[in-house]
Amino acid sequence: MQRSQINDILRAADDFIRAQGVALPPFAHLDPAALSAGDHAEIRARRLGWDVTDYNRGDFARLGLALFTLRNGTEAELRAGRGMVYAEKLLISEVDQLSPMHRHLVKTEDIINRSGGRLVVELFGSQPDGARDPEAGVSVMCDGIVRDVAAGGKLVLRTGESVTLRPGDWHAFWAEGARCLIGEVSSVNDDVTDNLFDPPLPRFAEVVEDVAPWRLLVSDYLG
């Protein structure tokens, strides 16, 4: 992705989040130099902040996602079972923009339709080796109600509704009718190692630096 495209997506995402009446934390609005300063080391270490991906396929409108990670624990805290063992994100899905089929190895997450259109979640179960099973359905919790979903079944989440996805629950999602502001509440998030896509895809996009960044992405400080 070109940095100029990423900048435009981030500005639009910031405007959309504000329009939903949601205020982001102060570090969301730091310029790259300020966020790179030493007193923001924990923000960078915990991989908080903006994220845009087209899964390196070059068609963001069809296959992509804009995200903001508000809080995130560490692997050490998760292993210890104490401290910040949770994470929280906001995601923006455009109409018919696919977040592709994937599962997590460790993370359990609630996906919540916070505002906008309908959020469609397609689901499959796993084979014993963890691969997607084209014939296996799943049982998921939707706001306290257990729902059995057949292989390839589609949950439609309206505003305020959510689904809990556990490791091994293969899922893809997209917005219908209008773009969606999606909440994600989960165990500790590690986008470097904890995503398995079917078919295989890179989680982060390669960035072509055609202009200066407006805001840094999480991928800018992964190293």
Q: What pTM did the predictor assign?
A: 0.96
CA dihedral 59, 193, 169, 130 (to 10 degrees): 110
pLDDT of residue 129: 96
Q: How far apart are CA 176 and CA 121, in angstroms?
A: 11
82 pLDDT more than 70: yes
Q: How far apart are CA 185 and CA 90, in angstroms?
A: 9
What is the full DSSP assignment across 124-155?
EEE-TTS-EETT--EEEEETTEEEEE-TTEEE
* Contact between 73 and 96 (Cβ < 8 Å): no
pLDDT of residue 40: 95
Structural domains of the chain, with CATH: 3-221 (2.60.120.10)
pLDDT of residue 38: 82
pLDDT bracket for residue 222 (50, 70, 90): confident
145 Cα distance to chain centroid: 24
pLDDT of residue 194: 97
Q: How far apart are CA 220 and CA 52, in angstroms?
A: 11
Q: How far apart are CA 37 and CA 153, in angstroms?
A: 47
223 pLDDT more than 80: no
Q: 10-49: per-residue pLDDT in tens?
A: 999 999 999 999 999 999 999 999 999 989 999 999 999 9
The mean of the pLDDT values for the chain is: 97
